[in-house]
Amino acid sequence: MPDSAVMQDNDLTAEQRRAIASLYQAFNTGDPDLLDEALAKDWRDIPLAPGQQPGREGMKPMVQAFLAAIAELRITPQAVVGSRDRAAVRLVLSGRHVGEWMGVPATGRTFEIAMHEMHHLQGGRITHTWHIEDWASWREQVGAT
């Protein structure tokens, strides 16, 4: 986790914290192979994005899709709260909209939206992720409303 992440009531192991950090670093660095360190092979992403295939391998093309549509992409954890095999993460997703995303042609505008994710971890990997992103705010910030 970046130094800016706030760790509270954390009962996560170092291995679990590394898995969570690697998930977001895959997007921040553009290296989908980091997902191998973060996600179980049969990881469940709930809900799947349109066109996303299930499992860890199904997320790898999504890293590239994000980077094609969003320049200067940053996913920054703001708070991580965990206990044993569960973690809640509050994040900020920011960047500049440079390619079609969710049917919206590139606008060149910058944005910053909130994300919230709940992870289930086993064996040092994330097995399930439930997530919510503020795409309505994104649409407003890029002028798509």
pLDDT for the residue numbered 50: 87
A 10 A CB-CB count for 31 gives: 13
pTM metric for this prediction: 0.91
In this model, does residue 103 exceed pLDDT 70? yes
* pLDDT at residue 79 tops 50: yes
> How confident is residue 5, by pLDDT bands cut at 50, 70 and 90?
low
Q: CA 124, CA 145: separation in Å to the nearest integer?
A: 41
CATH of 6-90+116-133, one of 1.10.287.1260, 3.60.40.10, 3.10.450.50, 3.20.20.150: 3.10.450.50
Percent of the chain at pLDDT above 70? 94
Greater pLDDT, 84 or 71: 71
- pLDDT of 6 reads 56
CA 135 to chain CA centroid, Å, is: 13
Average pLDDT over residues 79-108: 96
Beta-carbon contacts of 49 under 8 Å, excluding residues fewer than 6 positions away, are 62
25: DSSP letter: H
